[in-house]
Chains A and B, each alone.
Chain A
């Protein structure tokens, strides 16, 4: 069982948390027109990398707060924990963020008011 460092409560057992899957999936706004295929990428496609992964976690049986985690899916090392709405600061997380295919999707571009 993993031990996750909740940024608000400190290190706790994994069973206190629920994993919210891939982080940094920007939600396209409905009034920004994008194709069904581009919208489908937002809705259905999730990364499952072997290695560094940016994930959302929630301290469900604790403070109920969401936060982001940089986790190595092979070693289970927790490389960084950072607040919702912010981006990873350390190298591994930054690299994973910048190299994600999502950064170039129409769905991500449609996530801001145009």
Chain B
């Protein structure tokens, strides 16, 4: 167990009397409650955390927050392992297991770091430039690139064992960020009684005040003021406080998405709690108080472990009670780092020097540092940092007033910590996600929020108002404005008094340290640490002609890592502007997108996974099919019985048996999934005449008719049999998959085009269970099942419907056929589904009744040339293409698609038309989707005629049949076509035929055959 030799005492969030054990790369360490993995590692003196993405350089902890680009680790084991977590954001718990990433075989000795030696050959755009040629080599390159690329490794188990939840909330005011400004705004807004949600990504509210102890608010230490505000807020029933919650997305109309980490910080996780909770919040007003992020400085070797942001060091000291080094060099272009330097010295560290790039420095904080005996080198910059796995020495040079030139000889100083500060960047991500404008702040050298697009205000540091007193004033003003804008009222608070050393927040423009080395030479000075983008890469991009910030971003990948350039964007812009000779505001900036920080995909999915991903619809007879051993297939959301194999039967054998039975004895199909729509109203007949291509007003009551529906472009959309139940009442059937779409489609026409029609549509798909009995013995079986209806051809001819009873069950009996056999569709109220099915099976036993599935149904209908919409059609097929001119009314003045069918292009003889194909070798079954050609010897690309839409071995016919959509197909009857095959197989030879292969006269279905 390693000791915590860099632990000071308890910080503002840590409790040293509650030790926690954890391991990093297999070695045990101890931290304490309130630690992050980063603070605990620093307390143990561990700085080397990972290897970088491209060059595999040793990297440590740079920050103390969500901006961390370097210290990415994998946490957890087995299926629970999660890669690429920022050590600065991982809360420590007892038993935490963390491993470093991007290294092999070990963190200290990493083979991939040879990339660093090769780095002269890995410039910006390297992949674009190198792997271009020859194209056929890409397969080889890709293998190596894929292995080398990427951060971390995901859990090996593809199933995430954690549970995630979603919750929805409406509220008047959402406040993002629970620092000084956020707390103030929440309290002010809370006084109105309106519903307020305050979120903070950290485990504790307080923000920067947790790290800044040299300040008093209302004459009390800042940390006490935070506690006071929290106790006031927690007493307000209308205020919801969410810790460990990141507002990661800001969408249109104030649609806010929050990621709450519920159990990640617990060593034992209660089973009733989800790991994370996704909050979807619709807010009336939003206040952003997201603070700011300190910028690194760009100098050679600035990525070594032990080089940290000055503010982060201050956080580790004050917030966590950890001193991340003993001898520090501070390098800064602004005043804020002086606070950190003093904090470091007060905590017992030795400040070797403050290196300040500004030639002239003044003000109380400078005086305080001098009074504390800290040497200050003004007009100096850090021009290099050196060390193997940790910074050990720095090079300090006098620089010109503008910071662009090195003046004179360099000094060398040894140290074990560099604290750098390049100025503050307001965290404008959410404002920007909400499409708010950004404006350039020439004093603070940063972009800050301009005009908002949504009902949203930024306050405090994220608004460029870094001064605490000013931030608090803004908080009160913004909260009051938000309350008033929604018609609320509240007592307006006065701004608390802030007592602190006044500093200037204006940094010097110093985007990178000057260097004596030529372009692209010298030590690497990193801009984007996570993507290993250096200042030289950006300058190279400009030399190669890139001008636009968007192009430079994509070419160099700066700002494109998982941190979205939180620490790098401003430095990259500054360097780019310099290289282009433009001002930064003229270069512009890139747009921030959600998520603010990476978030778990598991949380986005929530419970909508596995069986809950999509609804599964089962028919009422499903249990019977299952006990009969049926295999199932998905048809839309439905599970349909596909075929019913007997013991030892293959699918082919089972289907052969089923189709044979349907033509020789009787087959029984569960057709409950067919879409059924009840159409009623005094204009029902008129409406159907407009929806269908054929006529339904002329249909007699009790009669059925097959109908075809087109889109208004004349293309086939759906089909089905519709029956007139009464003058103003029809029962429509649709395809299984098309049911919902057809109902929506008809509703659309009723509501938007023909609102004057008196028609009501109701989906009744699930109100009826349907069994289709088909085959020569169908009639006898129905009679054996005690049907109350006279089934004789004269009393009950083909295409008619009667109501009655079967085995005592009320039924609608339709004499219609999708098999070409004598066939009845028996509809009973859904709950009688199994009763009907078992009654028919029992009655049919003596007649050889055989249940058949959807595969046999497909074969049977194909033998008859019946189309399936979506198989023979694909949205580009007209009734004329299908050879179904007979169904298109010439008499009706209008129907949907009528005018489109009259377009001249519809008569093009080269349109693809539906034909049958009969293979010359009866045993060849053409693959569905295969293309047909006239001459298989022509060189590729061949002149293709069209494709095969359906193809089956037909046991009833004894040969293979297919349907195909072929160019000018109707004129090709009797011609020979070839279907070229893959993999050197011989092309299949077939003859173009009519689509009806079986019983072309329809004797069987009409009952005129005696078989």
Contacts and interface: CB of A to CB of B under 8 A. Distances in A.
Contacts of A31: 893-894
Contacts of B252: 1-3, 76
B36 to A, nearest CB: 33
Interface residues of A, number: 25
Contacts of A13: 255, 282
Contact of A27 (B253, B453, B712, B903): B712
A29 interface: yes
A36 B748 contact: no
Given A39-B899, A75-B453, A84 B752 contact: yes
B747 interface: yes
B903 A36 contact: yes
B748 A66 contact: yes
B282 A66 contact: no
A3 B253 contact: yes
B251 interface: yes
Contacts of B744: 58, 60
Contacts of B712: 27, 43
B755 A84 contact: yes
Contacts of B904: 36
Contacts of A84: 751-752, 755
B255 A3 contact: yes
A66 B894 contact: no
A13 B895 CA distance: 35
B899 A28 contact: yes
A33 B802 CA distance: 43
B253 A76 contact: yes
B894 A30 contact: yes
Nearest to B761: A64
Interface string A70-81: 000001100000
Interface in B244-286: 251-253, 255, 282
Contact of B253 (A1, A28, A40, A44): A1
Given A1-B251, A39-B903, A30 B898 contact: yes
B972 interface: no
Interface in A1-60: 1-3, 13, 20, 27-31, 36, 39-40, 43-44, 56, 58, 60
A85 B755 contact: yes
B900 interface: yes
Interface string B903-927: 1110000000000000000000000
Most A C-beta atoms less than 10 A away, residue of B713, B751, B902, B905: B751
Given A30-B898, A36-B904, A43-B900, A1 B752 contact: no
A64 B761 CA distance: 12
B453 A65 contact: no
A39 B282 contact: no
B614 to A, nearest CB: 15
Most B C-beta atoms less than 10 A away, residue of A1, A30, A65, A66: A30
A3 B255 CA distance: 8
A39 B901 CA distance: 11
A30 B899 contact: yes
B17 interface: no
B253 A2 contact: yes
Contacts of A75: 453
Most A C-beta atoms less than 10 A away, residue of B253, B747, B900: B253
Interface string B440-460: 000000000000010000000
Contacts of B898: 30
Nearest to A28: B899
A92 B920 CA distance: 67
B586 interface: no
A37 B453 CA distance: 42
Contacts of A27: 712, 753
On chain B, which size bracket covers the interface? 20 to 34
B893 A66 contact: no
Contact of A43 (B253, B713, B752, B894): B713
A30 B893 contact: yes
Contacts of A1: 251-253, 255
Most A C-beta atoms less than 10 A away, residue of B752, B755, B894: B752
Contacts of A39: 899-900, 903
Contacts of B453: 75
Most B C-beta atoms less than 10 A away, residue of A44, A56, A66: A66
A58 B748 contact: yes
Nearest to A12: B282
A3 B905 CA distance: 43
Nearest to B453: A75
B709 to A, nearest CB: 16
A31 B894 CA distance: 7
Nearest to B254: A3
Nearest to B749: A27
Interface in B719-756: 744, 747-748, 751-753, 755
A28 B894 CA distance: 10
A2 B251 CA distance: 8
Nearest to A68: B752
B900 A65 contact: no
Most B C-beta atoms less than 10 A away, residue of A1, A29, A56: A1
Contacts of A43: 712-713, 900
A43 B713 CA distance: 7
A13 B256 CA distance: 12
Contacts of A20: 748, 752
Contact of A3 (B282, B713, B903): B282
B808 to A, nearest CB: 37
A60 B744 CA distance: 9
A75 to B, nearest CB: 7
B253 A29 contact: no
A65 B903 contact: no
A113 to B, nearest CB: 10
A19 to B, nearest CB: 12
B894 A29 contact: yes
A56 B905 CA distance: 30
Interface string B741-784: 00010011001110100000000000000000000000000000
A7 to B, nearest CB: 13
Contacts of B903: 36, 39-40
A31 B747 CA distance: 24
Nearest to A107: B899
Interface string B694-718: 0000000000000000001100000
Nearest to A32: B899
A90 B751 CA distance: 23
B857 to A, nearest CB: 31
B687 to A, nearest CB: 15
Contacts of A28: 899
A58 B748 CA distance: 9
Contacts of B900: 39, 43
A2 to B, nearest CB: 5
B691 to A, nearest CB: 14
A31 B753 CA distance: 17
A66 B751 contact: yes
A80 to B, nearest CB: 16
Nearest to B255: A1
B711 to A, nearest CB: 9
Interface string B230-252: 00000000000000000000011
A56 B252 CA distance: 19
Contacts of B748: 20, 58, 66
A76 B253 CA distance: 8
A39 B900 CA distance: 8
16 contacts: A1-B251, A1-B252, A2-B252, A2-B253, A27-B753, A30-B894, A30-B895, A30-B898, A31-B893, A36-B903, A39-B903, A60-B744, A66-B751, A66-B752, A76-B252, A84-B752
**4 closest A-B pairs by CB:** A30-B894, A3-B253, A30-B898, A30-B899
Given A20-B748, A36-B903, A43-B713, 19 more contacts: A2-B252, A2-B253, A3-B255, A13-B282, A20-B752, A27-B712, A29-B893, A29-B894, A30-B898, A36-B904, A36-B905, A39-B899, A43-B900, A44-B713, A56-B752, A58-B744, A64-B747, A65-B751, A85-B752
